[in-house]
Amino acid sequence: MNILFLFFSWHSFAQAKKWKTGILRDEFIYQKASFPQCHAATIAETKEGLIAAWFGGSYEGSNDVCIYTSRMENDRWTDPVQVADGVINDTLRYACYNPVLCQVPDGELLLFYKIGPNVAGWTGWMIRSKDNGRTWSKREPLPNGYLGPIKNKPVEVAGILICPSSTEKNGWKAHFEYTQDMGKTWAKSPDINDGKTLSAIQPSILQYKDGSLQVLCRSQNTTINQSWSYDNGRTWSNITATELPNNNSGTDAVSLKDGRQLLVYNHVKPPETASEGRGVRTPLNVAVSKNGEQWYATLVLEDSPVSEYSYPSVIQSQDGMVHIVYTWRREKIKYVKMDPSQLKIQKIKKGQWPD
């Protein structure tokens, strides 16, 4: 019995260590906060370093939910600071949702977020910082019908900031919103899917060296769904399913300087009978690909069966390191720093995570 116990303990330790290679730092952004719950973190790099944001309050959708930020100073995260709320007037207040940070190259730091009674009724807003997130402007409403980036970061292509967006009113549909002047004027694309056969929300935009773009989307189809553009994001192909599973939870991805694509997601395949394709939000995984089609397993950030580990946001900083923030049990925001040159990879076959 003791020998068997030791063997299985060693095997479990070896497996856990195997999926951690490349991680340099793994910590909570804060230990204590004025709010009991948090969710939907986002991260960006400014000239002064990293900044993260998320929403926090009593619970998602409560009208006391506000947007908070924390900056990396002297190699430590600062205490959370409230930077936006959902106060409409003296008698009306709504919840805030899904902040998205965007450092415009040689420009301002932008923070997009939503305010509303629910997802179907939210509206798009933004604030600006000229001092790397230390102070912020008064909030600005986005034009009627515009929501800005829904969950994941914009990318700049040919001088245009492309914001991956989506709606959930009449089916889950993805679209893109464009600005050439840091959010002063806007244009947008039609929906790239009808929300009936294949659903798609919360796109992440990936860029390839040949100029093509790919988006990976959350869905209700038990799969991560994708679309491609070959004209700088003006038009997009029909939505198709990838081999990667999706548990009806948010993902994020980033194009690395070495040409690979890196995806953070819950590698969870819900039963086909699951309502709206919902599955548990654990484990939280990292995969890489050279072409956006064949993916390779590389990290397991969390694998506890307790609660959820979800809604990641990922960037690569100027020094080449990769930075990830995500929801930890709705109680805290977790931060992970990794070196992509150290990653060990193993092929994902037919959507199955190795071992």
Tell me the pLDDT tens digit for each residue of 79-98. 999 999 999 999 999 999 99
Q: Provide the pLDDT for residue 8.
A: 41
Selection from 89, 154, 98, 138 nearest residue 122 by Cα: 98
Q: What is the pTM of this model?
A: 0.95
pLDDT at 2: 55
Q: Give the C-alpha separation, 44 to 103, whole Å.
A: 6
Residue 282 to residue 252: CA distance in whole angstroms:
15
Query: What pLDDT score was predicted for residue 29?
Result: 98
Q: What DSSP string describes 222-258?
A: SEEEEEEESSTTSS-PPPEEEEEE--S---EEEE-TT
Domains, the chain, ranges and CATH? 2-347 (2.120.10.10)
- Tell me how far CA of residue 249 lies from CA of 66, 89, 177, 219, 276, in angstroms: 21, 33, 22, 8, 11
Quote the pLDDT of residue 7.
38
Predicted confidence band at 106 (pLDDT cuts at 50, 70, 90)?
confident
pLDDT tens digits, residue range 108-151? 999 999 999 999 999 999 999 999 999 999 999 999 999 999 99
pLDDT tens-digit map of 215-272: 999 999 999 999 999 999 999 999 999 999 999 999 999 999 999 999 999 999 999 8
pLDDT of residue 272: 84
Average pLDDT of the chain, as a whole number: 95
Confidence of residue 17 (pLDDT cuts 50, 70, 90): confident
Could you tell me if 199 and 186 are in contact, meaning their C-beta atoms sit under 8 angstroms apart? Answer: no
Separation between Cα atoms, residue 244 and residue 353, nearest integer Å? 9
Place 13 in a pLDDT band, splitting at 50, 70 and 90.
Answer: very low
Enter the tokens of residue 83.
Answer: 């930077």
